[in-house]
Structure 1
Amino acid sequence: MGLRRSLDDYKQNRDTEDRFPGERRTQLGQFTGSERRLVHVSPDGSLRDYSYPLSGLHGISASRFGVQVDGRVTWFDANDGATQTAEGASFVETIHSFERFDIVQRDFTDTLSHVTVFELRGEAPDRLEIVGFVEFTPEGQEGRIGQLIHDGETVELYHNREHDYLGASTELEVTPQVLETFDEILADEPQSFPREDAAESYEGSRLTGGVSFRAELKNGRTTIVTTLSDIEEQPRSAGLEQVGNQIQHYSSSNSFTAKQRPEPLTDDTNRLVETDLTVLDLLSAPTGARIAGPDFDPHYQYSGGYGYTWFRDDGEISMFLLEAGERLGLDVAEQHRKSAQLYLRTQLADGRWPHRVWPMNGRLAPGWANGHLEGSETQYQADQTASVLIFLANYLSSHHGSLPEDTIRDIETALELGIEGMDLSLEADGLPTECENAWENMNGRFTHTAAKFLHAYSAIATTPLNTSVRDHATTQAEHIYNALKTMWCPDRGIYVLRLDEGELDVRVDSNTFSLIDAHLAYEDVGDVSDERRRRLGTHLETAFDCLWTETDSIQGLVRFEDDTWRRRDQSSEKVWTVSTGWGAYAAEKAIRLGVSDHGFDPTVWSDRLFTEIDLSGSLCLRSGYLPEQFFDSGKPDSATPLGWSHAIRLATYAARSTREAKAESGQTSSNY
């Protein structure tokens, strides 16, 4: 998204109370994608690329579609009669309803091509055409763009390496669109595109990324194709040929094939699993690395960007997927393999991982928590390394018999090196050193970081490594287990957020839910006392009560007490789907840990919290997507869909299904 479109949105939304002006939101609409391209289809049918982190190609930054009937244009964004559905990771159908007819828009992404089919349904007007405006920003450029119109119809937009193409199956009348001048950019009102007047000169019309068009309907149908390419990988002749082949293929068939248009799911349970797996696929690059979510804030005005791979988020997603796959019998072996290879390839020489990398290639991406690369521990998120090691250890243990020998050796080496990396961050008192937290907004010595270290050391201690490595991991786990007493606040009945300059920060923090999983892992290497179980139960009960928020529109958990991030004009903390889902997941694991034997029944909270992130819950959008946050008004905010939230939901559903199945068979819940 270029600065011009951001400023347009800023002008439109600067006075809103629960919307951040200048962003490119995805809370409404659906995505269609491949491993290299991610395209958002809004309810009005407009398209926008979020593909750069997956492929290095930018594509479409803005678009608009409509119909021209008897010379009069009606844009779909001015028409309220639209419905939208999505099927799988690739197919989106939007129906634009008019008084006498419908326009059915079908969108499908195939590698680096995106296909949009417009089809007339109903009484045909005498003269009807599809009209559109598409703005491309190759290599993220708004200016210094070249435009070629081949044979008067196929349009090529380019900067240096990135060359993008637009073509249609029917006669296409193209008008290049010169974008805003400085005066128009600085004006109070946003500029509407397409402009009514054509470019003033041939020279000006060939130096712009915007193009408007009219496409006739042939037999009630036209097919629009856009293709992104790297000129060093695909020469112009091949790019033009690909556009032509795609047009011919999709315009000659009456409908998409079964592969492109999967059978709709009717069972809600299957639909939840399918939605979560689809989201994780949409956010994945060919390397297996996942973006946190579609990057809605490209100019970093209100966040640090979301179109990167964080090793915490990705490691947690991998572990949740590993659990869910085993419980539900999912075919996700290839995802596990790619994740493991990514982590092996990106591990640093000291056994740790950087803050974040580019999903497309695993290279170091811009970040603010790479202090350990600069020689400082403080600006480093140590829990990220632990999250990756937890997955690698569990993957090795559960798939040891099916992995190639060289992969086993590589993972064993990574785990041994990873222990050394965690040791660097562990102080003599048994707690991790001062570092940055998982929410990336403060420094200190965090309960969450300690919990992830306990989990990682415990998981490694049970892997098929040599005895000395496992013994060392066990000793470190015991050290952290005992040190966690320091983080207990009896007055509040919680494990605190952090130690800050030697003082307890006694706020409730949802990421301390990781204590439950950590103690489950520790059970395999040491004894969890009854007193510790009682404290964990009290901690969960207190945390759920304190973080629970209920308004007329939504219900769920806030991130932590006194959280001020992205409030806009709201005076209180916002509800997060990650925290709500994490709470449901922790409650399920608490059942297994046996905390219910000590006065707290986590089953009630598991049901209550999962209900809110379920498909019909207050925190789930009509699309099935889980956004990161919600305002009290019920308006969703921030990255949508968020991969971490969907992975938590999937793993929680799997754990709940296992518990329910065990209960039906007469087994006690603590055995699942």
Structure 2
Amino acid sequence: MGLRRSLDDYKRNKETAEVFPGEQRTQMGQFTGSTQRLIHVDPSGSIRDYSYPLSGLHGLSSSRFGVRFDQTIEWFDTLEGASQTLHEGTVETIHNFEKFDVVQRDFTNALTHATAFKLRGETPDSIELVGFVELTPEGQEGRIGQLVHDDELVEVYHNREHTYLGASTELEITPEVMEKFDEVLADEPKSFPRKGESESYEGSRLTGGVRFRTEFEDGRTTVITTLSDIEEQPRSASLKHVADQTQRYSDPSKLLTDAQQSGLTPDITDQLVQMDLHVLDLLSAPTGARIAGPDFDPHYQYSGGYGYTWFRDDGEISTFLLEADERLGLDIENRHRKSAEFYLQTQLDDGRWPHRVWPMNGRLAPGWANGHVEGSETQYQADQTASVLVFLAEYLATHHESLPKDTATDIETALELGVGGMDISLETDGLPTECENAWENMNGRFTHTAAKFMQAYSTIATAPLADTLQNHAATQARRIYDALETMWCPDEKIYGLRLVDGNLDVRIDSTTFSLIDAHLAYRDVGDISDERYSRLATHLETAFERLWTETDAIRGLTRFEEDTWRRRNQGNEKIWTVSTGWGAYAAEKAIRLFSTTSQQFDPTAWSDRLFTEIDLTGSLCLSSGYLPEQFFDSGTPDSATPLGWSHAIRLATYAARSTRNVEPAVERQSGKR
């Protein structure tokens, strides 16, 4: 995603109240993708690549399409009333004119993206497709070259990455020089394509901009883009591939057939399950690792970026998927296996995991919480390691009999090493040491970190592992259980957010919902007192009541009290889908936790209330089915969209609600190895 496009957006939106200018937003529109390429199709049909974290290739930085008839060009992004849906594996966008429509279907297969256009209705006698694309191989906006093969197929390149553009009908191509310095620095944004002819031949071959037009044949034409690494696929092979694909996808039936067959989601009819699995597929690399969300802020202007694999997000997603699979029988074991293999590959020598990595290869990605790599414990998010260990222990317990012996052994070794890593972070008082929190915006000794540690130790203590490891993990879990007394505030009747210099921060934080899962796991390790049950119930009910926010447009839970991040001009905390979903999940799990107690608090009503807001028809779910990370009070969605963590929470909560009072289909193995 180029700097030019970010600066252009900044100029267009710097005065907009609920927009962070310069971001490449994805709240509106839909995605199509493979494990190597992720393409956003905005409501006007313009497409853009968010593929780099998945494949290491950049592709399209911007584009626009339109039609030319009666000597006039009508760009689709200037029209009103377009509609967009998922249709048989494609993103279908319908552009409406007075007497005819243009139906656009987008589909991604491996590194190739097809955009097919079909005319429908009373079309003019002479009509052609027009388009513009900006290609930025290796993320470069300068030092790029352009080749035009046989006057109808474009190749744009920097070094290794080569991007190709072709069509099923004859293309008329005009290279387009992008903004010069004076245009970049001007107050007003610049629209492309420019009017008039291209610059000199020399200038036209040193740009990633391409203007084109092509006629419709039998009312149809298809535009193809393909990304390639020239060290893996030579030019001749790429040119042949583009020619083959343009010919193949000139036939709409073949495009729809390939689109339907390329879906990674099993044949599932439930719309919510299908949507959540589809989103997690879109965010997944060939390794099985997932980006947190499409990277809308690659220049780190308002965030630290989202196109990376966090081990907290990914570990939690993996556990949610495992749980949903156990309850709904989704037949997604291959995903669990890939996740486990990725975690084994990326575990550090001390048993822990780094802040975040590139999903394409597991290498260390830019981050700010690698203190344990640098030699400092404070700038480290210890809960991330615990999240991964919970998944590995649960995966071993639920699939132990079917795992290859070598894989099971590797997981056992990783768990033993991981326990040692958590031990490093556990202080003598039984609480994790000072570190960064799950929201990555403060330091302290957090209730959430302690809860994740207790859950991880407890899960390992009951997994099919060696006696010594089980006993040690159980002992550590009991130490944390006792130490959690320190986090209780009797005046507020809640578990505080954190300890700072020995003082309890008594703000409510939605991450403390993790106490429910932690105690469910701990029940198999030690006894839970009636007083602890009472405190958990009181805390959960109080947290729901204090974080609940309702406006004319939306309803849900905020992240934590006094949260100031990304508020723009809003004076109060924003609603987050992660927090709302987490609350629904915790309430559903609390039904199980409190089922044998005499607690007066009934979490069922809160489970229903919170899940309603993230359901497909809820106030926090977009018409696309996507869950953005957060919302302004006006109902304007903001930040990463779709957010994988939110979709995984929704899926696991739906699975738990659908099978309430029913035991999981997969039996968990426990006991000795």
Matches within 5 A, 1:452-531: 452-531=452-531
- State how far apart, in whole Å, the 2-side matches of 1:277 and 1:62 are: 27
- State how far apart, in whole Å, the 1-side matches of 2:661 and 2:417 are: 40
- State how far apart, in whole Å, the 2-side matches of 1:274 and 1:382 are: 33
Structure 1 counterpart of 2:160: 161
- State how far apart, in whole Å, the 2-side matches of 1:528 and 1:64 are: 60
Matches within 5 A, 1:60-99: 60-87=60-87, 90-99=89-98
What is the Cα deviation at residue 70 of structure 1?
2.1
Is 2:215 the partner of 1:216?
Answer: yes
Secondary structure at 2:401 match in 1: helix
- 1:39–1:263 distance in 2 versus 1, CA, 3 Å: closer
What is the Cα deviation at residue 225 of structure 1?
0.3
Structure 2: give runs of 5+ residues left out of the alignment.
Answer: 664-673
**TM-align CA RMSD:** 1.5
What is the Cα deviation at residue 269 of structure 1?
7.8
Secondary structure at 1:598 match in 2: coil
CA offset digits 1:141-195 (Å, max 9, x no partner) = 0111100000000000000000000001111110111011111111111000000
- State how far apart, in whole Å, the 2-side matches of 1:257 and 1:183 are: 45
- State how far apart, in whole Å, the 2-side matches of 1:473 and 1:242 are: 54
Secondary structure at 1:214 match in 2: strand
What is the Cα deviation at residue 263 of structure 1?
13
- State how far apart, in whole Å, the 2-side matches of 1:317 and 1:492 are: 32
- State how far apart, in whole Å, the 1-side matches of 2:457 and 2:269 are: 35
Structure 2 counterpart of 1:381: 381
- State how far apart, in whole Å, the 2-side matches of 1:205 and 1:259 are: 35
CA offset digits 1:491-531 (Å, max 9, x no partner) = 11110000001100000000000000000000011111111
Structure 2 counterpart of 1:618: 619
Structure 1 counterpart of 2:48: 48
- State how far apart, in whole Å, the 2-side matches of 1:178 and 1:453 are: 55
Structure 1 counterpart of 2:193: 194
Q: CA contact under 8 A between 1:87 and 1:263: conserved in structure 2?
A: no
Secondary structure at 1:73 match in 2: strand
Structure 1 counterpart of 2:603: 602
What is the Cα deviation at residue 565 of structure 1?
0.4
- State how far apart, in whole Å, the 2-side matches of 1:378 and 1:561 are: 23
Structure 1 counterpart of 2:2: 2
- State how far apart, in whole Å, the 2-side matches of 1:359 and 1:93 are: 29
Matches within 5 A, 1:18-167: 18-87=18-87, 90-167=89-166
What is the Cα deviation at residue 126 of structure 1?
1.3
Secondary structure at 1:225 match in 2: strand
- 1:70–1:203 distance in 2 versus 1, CA, 3 Å: same
Structure 2 counterpart of 1:243: 242
What is the Cα deviation at residue 652 of structure 1?
0.1
Secondary structure at 1:148 match in 2: strand
CA offset digits 1:534-568 (Å, max 9, x no partner) = 10000000000000000000000000000000000
Q: CA contact under 8 A between 1:40 and 1:47: conserved in structure 2?
A: yes
- 1:287–1:275 distance in 2 versus 1, CA, 3 Å: same
What is the Cα deviation at residue 71 of structure 1?
1.7
What is the Cα deviation at residue 262 of structure 1?
7.2
Q: CA contact under 8 A between 1:48 and 1:61: conserved in structure 2?
A: yes
What is the Cα deviation at residue 660 of structure 1?
6.6
Identity over aligned pairs, percent: 75
The normalised TM-score by structure 2 is 0.97
CA offset digits 1:291-323 (Å, max 9, x no partner) = 000000010000000000000000000000000
Q: CA contact under 8 A between 2:558 and 2:576: conserved in structure 1?
A: yes
- State how far apart, in whole Å, the 1-side matches of 2:416 and 2:399 are: 18
Q: CA contact under 8 A between 1:87 and 1:262: conserved in structure 2?
A: no
Give the AA of the match of 2:552: D
- State how far apart, in whole Å, the 2-side matches of 1:319 and 1:313 are: 10
Q: CA contact under 8 A between 1:87 and 1:261: conserved in structure 2?
A: no
What is the Cα deviation at residue 331 of structure 1?
1.3
- State how far apart, in whole Å, the 2-side matches of 1:252 and 1:49 are: 24
- 1:655–1:73 distance in 2 versus 1, CA, 3 Å: same
What is the Cα deviation at residue 423 of structure 1?
0.2
Structure 1 counterpart of 2:273: 273
Is 2:304 the partner of 1:287?
Answer: no
Q: CA contact under 8 A between 1:81 and 1:98: conserved in structure 2?
A: no
Structure 1 counterpart of 2:545: 545
Is 2:176 the partner of 1:170?
Answer: no
Structure 1 counterpart of 2:636: 635
Give the AA of the match of 1:142: E
Is 2:589 the partner of 1:568?
Answer: no
Secondary structure at 1:449 match in 2: helix
Is 2:445 the partner of 1:449?
Answer: no
- State how far apart, in whole Å, the 1-side matches of 2:81 and 2:558 are: 35
Give the AA of the match of 1:96: H
Matches within 5 A, 1:229-240: 229-240=228-239
The normalised TM-score by structure 1 is 0.97
- State how far apart, in whole Å, the 2-side matches of 1:27 and 1:262 are: 27
- State how far apart, in whole Å, the 1-side matches of 2:339 and 2:662 are: 30
Q: CA contact under 8 A between 2:65 and 2:129: conserved in structure 1?
A: yes
Query: Which moves more between the two structures, 566-575 or 594-603?
Result: 594-603
What is the Cα deviation at residue 124 of structure 1?
2.0
Secondary structure at 2:213 match in 1: strand
- 1:659–1:59 distance in 2 versus 1, CA, 3 Å: same
Q: CA contact under 8 A between 2:268 and 2:274: conserved in structure 1?
A: no
Matches within 5 A, 1:316-335: 316-335=316-335
What is the Cα deviation at residue 81 of structure 1?
2.5
- State how far apart, in whole Å, the 2-side matches of 1:514 and 1:269 are: 31
Structure 2 counterpart of 1:309: 309
- State how far apart, in whole Å, the 2-side matches of 1:364 and 1:456 are: 24
What is the Cα deviation at residue 31 of structure 1?
0.3
- 1:656–1:496 distance in 2 versus 1, CA, 3 Å: same
Structure 2 counterpart of 1:670: none
The runs of 4+ residues in structure 1 deviating greater than 6 Å are 262-265
Secondary structure at 1:119 match in 2: strand
Q: CA contact under 8 A between 1:178 and 1:204: conserved in structure 2?
A: yes
Q: CA contact under 8 A between 1:139 and 1:159: conserved in structure 2?
A: yes
- State how far apart, in whole Å, the 2-side matches of 1:109 and 1:637 are: 26
Is 2:659 the partner of 1:653?
Answer: no
- State how far apart, in whole Å, the 1-side matches of 2:397 and 2:472 are: 18
Structure 2 counterpart of 1:579: 579
What is the Cα deviation at residue 597 of structure 1?
3.0
Secondary structure at 2:426 match in 1: coil
Q: CA contact under 8 A between 2:344 and 2:410: conserved in structure 1?
A: yes
- State how far apart, in whole Å, the 2-side matches of 1:597 and 1:270 are: 36
Structure 2 counterpart of 1:359: 359
- State how far apart, in whole Å, the 2-side matches of 1:297 and 1:307 are: 9
What is the Cα deviation at residue 436 of structure 1?
0.3
CA offset digits 1:457-478 (Å, max 9, x no partner) = 0000001111111000000000
- State how far apart, in whole Å, the 1-side matches of 2:16 and 2:420 are: 50
Give the AA of the match of 1:645: S
What is the Cα deviation at residue 255 of structure 1?
5.3
Structure 1: give runs of 5+ residues left out of the alignment.
Answer: 663-672
Structure 1 counterpart of 2:16: 16
Q: CA contact under 8 A between 2:292 and 2:644: conserved in structure 1?
A: yes
Give the AA of the match of 1:648: I
Give the AA of the match of 2:568: R
Give the AA of the match of 1:61: S
Structure 2 counterpart of 1:667: none
Give the AA of the match of 1:421: G
- 1:110–1:376 distance in 2 versus 1, CA, 3 Å: same
